[in-house]
Amino acid sequence: MNASPRERIVVSVGGSCIVPDGIDTDFLTRFKTLILEKVQRGFTFSIIAGGGKTARRYQDAANQVTPLSRQDLDWIGIHATRLNAQLLRNIFVGYAHQQVVKNPTIDVDAEEPIIIAAGWQPGCSTDYDAVLMAKNQGATRLVNLSNIDYVYTADPKKDPHAKKIEETSWAEFRKLIPEEWDPGLSSPFDPIAAKEAEAIGLEVAIINGAKLEEFSKYIEGDSFVGTVIS
């Protein structure tokens, strides 16, 4: 698929890319270079940040002191995504909209080519927020950058017979993941987000953030390493 003029692509950047342990400035440098190259070619981006280990560390620490409700755990995760999003917004200073978007359903009047977003409200993952942004902004493609090369038929760390999936339908993908979302759920794509993406006919590409050249190939419509769900 080739880019239409000023095509907007939504990118969900997993916390595992931004903060795998410490903040990964090498990834951030390469990510910035790639995004700005694509901006020069006429693409625009809405980029939403995940919480990653920052979220989990704060959630675990709080839980050790005071057992927390699911909603309270969610709020900690949301604020971790907002910290990561502010980091991204500052990295793209001069190209990014001046405010981090916290509600994916609102219209954003942005002249800048890049919009940075973060978590919204309890019960919603950033995957789901990204799908809502795509729906609101009329985007037809969403890239999920995480720490896996493909979606697999099973967890390859636990099942040596797990097979990689290069292309699949939403109906088939949803058979592989839990039906409900939970804070800290480890899934290639949030189940609730998957239902919404299927409903609006959104194409989602799951790509390893460590291999940004594959992200570039996907944007340009070339063959790439990763999984397409549509």
Dump pLDDT digits (tens) for 185-203: 567 788 889 999 999 999 9
Strand residues in the chain grouped as ranges (E): 8-13, 44-49, 114-117, 141-146, 151-152, 164-165, 167-168, 203-208, 227-229
Q: Which CATH number fits domain 8-229: 2.120.10.30, 1.10.260.40, 3.40.1160.10, 3.40.50.410?
A: 3.40.1160.10
The pLDDT score that the predictor gives to residue 3 is: 46
Here the tokens at position 164 are 């990689």
Domain ranges of the chain: 8-229
- The secondary structure of residue 159, as a DSSP letter, is -
Residue 167 has pLDDT above 70, yes or no: yes
pTM of the model: 0.93
pLDDT band at 90 (very low <50, low <70, confident <90, very high): very high
